[in-house]
Amino acid sequence: MRRLIINADDFGLTSGVNCGIVEAHRHGVVTSTTLMANGPAFAEAATMAQTVPSLAIGCHVVLLDGSPLLSPSEVPTLLSRANESPRFFQGLSGFAARALAHRIDPRQIEAESTAQIRKIQSAGISIFHFDTHKHSHIFPAVLRPLLRAAVACGIRALRNPFPPLGAVPLAVLLSRPGLWKRSAQLKFLRRFAIQFRLAVQEAGLLTPDGTLGVALTGKLDEHLFQMIATHLPEGTWELVCHPGYHDAELQATKTRLKGSRPRELQVLTSTAAKDILERRGIELISFRDLAVTAQNRVF
């Protein structure tokens, strides 16, 4: 049995991203999304979420490339001193170096992530899962306090950021050299996979078997979507995507994912995407479905 969760990240980033995600759910194959509590378009996204009750909402915890909800005095180890304003570190490399060196206070990670989760819940939105911006929870020192926050807030599931081995066939890598670097980085980070599984099990949370599309971020097209569907292993997997509209608001942000978002939206709402999933016998589910299925099996 092959089941697939298609999750759109960055809900709440811009109005164009919000509209693209909702469209990709209503007219396409997106089943879940994760909302940025500190995103510039959070209020609009929270309102739009009420119009699509079938879309499972999670929290896209942001610990880098943004600003905290808590005051600077509450999360000093999460902040970059290079900025006059209270902002997180820009990019994953600086954040990762501090996390691996245990120079980030886990209590501050727990406090800030709890604040972000609670902000979404206080807007009347039920949260079924969480993930992190740029998959920062791949590092054990970040994952553990996030799991404590999730348990305290009643969240039952999270993204498993590790792809299956051979997720991108060699032939595809050879035809697209730009994917080599990303794939090599992910292979290196697989060293944390066992620790991830053990920590999630100890916390009692649910997670898919792994994630697809991380190496393809910003590159997803119809060919790669069909490749993913064709090579999807048995089990329950998540496909990460970033649909949206490339408008002036998005252009003004610092994200590198701009022109790729409308291309992904086109793929995710295409008849071809629905057809390939149906032909391959792949069941589309959401993180809400994952939690309900697991609960029924237990009880």
* pLDDT recorded at residue 299: 32
End-to-end CA distance of the chain: 22
* pLDDT recorded at residue 94: 84
Question: How does residue 293 score in pLDDT terms, banded at 50, 70 and 90?
Answer: low
Residue 213 reports pLDDT greater than 80: no
Tell me the C-alpha distance between 150 and 139, whole Å. Answer: 16
Q: Which amino acid is at 111?
A: A
* pLDDT recorded at residue 296: 53
Cα 62–137–72 angle (5° rounding)?
40
Q: Which amino acid is at 226?
A: Q
* pLDDT recorded at residue 298: 40
Summarised one tens digit per residue, pLDDT across range 224-249 is 899 899 989 999 999 999 999 999 99
Mean pLDDT of the chain: 89
Summarised one tens digit per residue, pLDDT across range 13-68 is 999 999 999 999 999 999 999 999 999 999 999 999 999 999 999 999 999 999 99
* pLDDT recorded at residue 178: 60
* pLDDT recorded at residue 84: 63
**Selected residue with higher pLDDT from 296 and 98:** 98
Question: How does residue 218 score in pLDDT terms, banded at 50, 70 and 90?
Answer: confident
Locate 277 and state its tokens.
């999933």
In the Cβ-directed half-sphere of 148, how many Cα atoms lie within 13 Å? 12
Mean pLDDT value of segment 152-157: 96
Mean pLDDT value of segment 138-153: 96
We find that the CATH architecture of domain 2-298 is: Alpha-Beta Barrel (3.20)
* pLDDT recorded at residue 183: 55
CB 75 within 8 A of CB 112: yes
Residue 174 reports pLDDT greater than 50: no
Q: How far is CA 33 from CA 96, 190, 198, in A?
A: 25, 24, 25
Summarised one tens digit per residue, pLDDT across range 185-206 is 555 566 888 999 999 999 999 9
Lowest mean pLDDT among 2-16, 128-142, 169-183, 282-296: 169-183
**Selected residue with higher pLDDT from 215 and 283:** 283
SS3 139: coil
Locate 162 and state its tokens.
């590790």
**Selected residue with higher pLDDT from 72 and 164:** 72
Q: Which residue ranges make up each domain of the chain?
A: 2-298
* pLDDT recorded at residue 180: 46
* pLDDT recorded at residue 231: 87
pTM (predicted TM-score): 0.91
Tell me the C-alpha distance between 20 and 242, whole Å. Answer: 9
Residue 88 reports pLDDT greater than 80: yes
Relative to beta strand 157-158, strand 129-132 is parallel
